[in-house]
């Protein structure tokens, strides 16, 4: 551990050395003790300085003013640290801006590309439509197969030719197709009604939120109406 005597104590150091007439005292290496005590000094050097001074010298007045030597820290410019600070500063500004504009644009959609925003909902809708199409094809194909092959298997004694079996299969397939088409159209109508109800609910909620703050026009008209009523009563 290194020690150092602060510059504010150098005057006291010179006064002590002049008073006891030891200004010319030197160490074994030939260095002046008074100059050595002004530098960074170790515990061993302190012991050497004390041995070079007379016994009546108040060396404790110097040691009690010594401070631990702290070497100066060199500040190095770290580009990575600066980039990180800049990134954190930009993120903080973005959060503050988003918080400030949250009441204006609650969805935070203005000025952004929202192409992939409803991707999940669109994917679910596409899957639902694909299932409906596959289900329709299977049911229509099954109805046609039942009419084409089922009649021949159930009643082989009728000896129906291929044309009649084809007509029976087509009739059953068309009936099943229109039945499926009815349910498809009905399901699409229910989806449209649910979306319309959701939008109307959002509009009503917005109107309620705006109405809770009061109308500026009504706030202005209330004092006027009160003044007119007071005039009439007078």
Given this model, what pLDDT does residue 216 score?
42
pLDDT, residue 234, reads: 54
Answer for the pair 27, 3: CB distance below 8 angstroms, yes or no.
Answer: no
Most confident of 14-23, 70-79, 163-172, 212-221: 163-172
Q: Which residues contact 53 (CB under 8 A, 6 or more apart)?
A: 20, 22, 25, 33, 59
**Element (H or E) spanning 4, and its range?**
strand 2-5
For residue 202, the model assigns a pLDDT of: 46
State mean pLDDT over 43-63.
82
At residue 65 the predicted structure's pLDDT band, cuts being 50, 70 and 90, is: confident
Closest CA to 46 of 4, 18, 108, 100: 4
Residue 230 CB coordination number (10 Å): 9
pLDDT value at residue 223:
54
Q: How confident is the model over 6-27, as pLDDT tens digits?
A: 788 888 888 888 888 888 888 7
- What average pLDDT does the structure give for the chain? 76
pLDDT digits (tens, 9 = 90+) for 190-207: 666 665 655 554 444 444
Q: How many Cα atoms are found within 13 Å in the side-chain-facing hemisphere of 127?
A: 6
Read off the pLDDT band of 229 (50, 70, 90).
low
Greatest pairwise CA separation for the chain in angstroms: 145
Is pLDDT above 80 for 209?
no
Predicted confidence (pLDDT) per residue in 90-146, tens digit: 999 998 888 887 766 555 555 555 556 667 777 887 888 888 889 889 999 998 988
Domain ranges across the chain? 2-68, 121-208
At CA 116, angle to CA 111 and CA 117, rounded to 5?
70
The reported pTM is 0.35
**pLDDT of 212 above 50:** no
Asked if pLDDT for residue 83 goes beyond 80, the answer is yes
Provide the percentage of residues in the chain whose pLDDT is more than 90.
7
Q: How much is the pLDDT for 28?
A: 78
């Amino acid at each position: 551990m290194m020690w150092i005597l602060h510059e504010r104590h150098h005057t006291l150091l010179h006064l002590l050395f002049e008073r006891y007439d030891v200004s010319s005292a030197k160490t074994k290496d030939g260095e002046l003790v008074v100059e050595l005590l002004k530098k960074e000094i170790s515990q061993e050097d302190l012991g050497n300085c004390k041995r070079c001074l007379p016994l009546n010298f108040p060396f404790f007045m110097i040691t009690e003013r010594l401070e631990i030597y702290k070497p100066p820290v060199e500040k190095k410019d770290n580009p990575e640290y600066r980039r990180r600070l800049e990134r954190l500063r930009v993120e903080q500004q973005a959060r503050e801006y988003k918080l400030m504009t949250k009441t204006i644009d609650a969805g935070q959609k203005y000025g952004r590309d929202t192409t992939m925003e409803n991707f999940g909902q669109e994917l679910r809708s596409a899957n639902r439509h694909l299932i409906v199409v596959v289900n329709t094809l299977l049911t229509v194909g099954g109805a046609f197969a039942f009419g084409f092959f089922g009649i021949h298997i159930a009643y082989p004694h009728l000896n129906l030719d291929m044309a009649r079996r084809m007509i029976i299969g087509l009739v059953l397939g068309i009936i099943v197709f229109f039945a499926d088409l009815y349910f498809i159209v009905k399901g699409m109508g229910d989806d449209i009604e649910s979306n319309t109800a959701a939008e109307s609910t959002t509009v009503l909620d917005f109107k309620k939120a705006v109405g809770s703050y009061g109308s500026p026009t009504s706030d202005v008209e209330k004092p006027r109406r009160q003044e007119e009523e007071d005039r009439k009563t007078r």
